[in-house]
Amino acid sequence: MKQIIRSNNIHGYFDAISDDLTISETDQGGEQRIILSPSFGVGSISRMKIRQGIEVVVSDMVLEEDWDQHIYEDQVFEINYCFSGGVDCFYQGSRYSTQVPSGNMYSMEGSEIHLLKRAKLRYQILEIRLLPEQLLGYFKHTDEYCWAEDWLKSQRKQISPLTNSVRLRRAVNEMMHSSYSGALKRLHMESKIMEIVLLALEKYTSDACPKTASDIKKPDMERLYGARQIIEGRLEDPLSLRELARAAELNEFKLKKGFKELFGMTVFEYIRDQRIEKGLYLMQHEQLNVGEAAAAVGYSNPSNFSAAFLKKYGCKPGHYIQSNLV
């Protein structure tokens, strides 16, 4: 199926899909859902308007035939996360193939994006769609507003990958599996949107926060972010401080001092914190038990994992999971 969408407002994209697919319903909380017809596929596409200028679109579907979308939008800033499916994207003369699971963000202004979704694949996609002024609204009356405005201008007409951290994966999963409904769900969604915006912009904000990292030179700052990415990629088998410094192309002194100054904790504290975060993610969303999650993040003794979890969250893993079912 080939579809051409032209939208001059942030909410027109979903409305145009609804017109073409026609089968839709609205629940009591105001969330709209398109149920695919058997000839098109199985599954659904839903949209919740958080407020004017901000919406969340969630797709969970298997298509009967390829879906070739040519989308022209006046203005939109989008953060999306693809859990499964993989989308071929053509934008500004370049091709991007989404790896799963992963996310990216892009800013469109009077331009067209071409998306190709393949038949017989299960697509699970979360899209956070904002008007640029709504994004800037999060910075209103702050010292970072001018920086955010300049940054947003620099992002026009390009696609940037998100750092696929444990924190991001946890936040997008909480949006996909929100246990709330109605107004509470809308409030929960916006709180997660703000968290994901923070995570998406984090690596760009060093110049906006000079007091936090006043004596870290830009090349060293980039290496420190690289060191953090290395840590997150091998939590179950972390490098020694010396090995990490070598991999990040820093000396040990700069690594230890700069990491604490930039991220607010030591390398060891960050490893421990991220292990607990990943363990929690595995228990909540992959249904691993405490022992399995502990082993997956590098703890040979589950009791040590539980003790670290208790220190971070104030309760044992099993109690936390039961109290926060999603």
pLDDT in tens, 164-197: 888 898 899 999 988 888 889 999 999 999 999 9
Cβ count near 147 (within 10 Å): 17
* CATH superfamily placement of domain 270-323: Homeodomain-like (1.10.10.60)
- Mean pLDDT across the stretch 256-260? 92
CA 288-291-296 angle, 5° bins:
70
- Amino acid at position 279, single letter: G
3-class DSSP state of 106 = strand
CB contact at 8 A, 104 and 162? yes
Q: Which CATH architecture has domain 2-203?
A: Sandwich (2.60)
Residue 253 to residues 76, 119, 157, 212, 249: CA-CA distances in angstroms? Answer: 43, 53, 40, 18, 12
Place of tokens 């893993």: 317
Tokens of 46: 């839903």
pLDDT in tens, 199-252: 988 877 655 554 444 578 888 988 998 999 899 889 999 999 999 999 999 999
7/4 Cα distance (integer angstroms):
10
Tokens of 86: 């993989």
Q: Which residues pair with 59 in a beta bridge?
A: 45, 125
> Does residue 210 have a cis bond before it (omega within 30 degrees)?
no
Domain boundaries defined on the chain: 2-203, 210-264, 270-323
Provide the pLDDT for residue 210: 46
198/192 Cα distance (integer angstroms):
10
CB contact at 8 A, 98 and 113? no
94/271 Cα distance (integer angstroms):
37
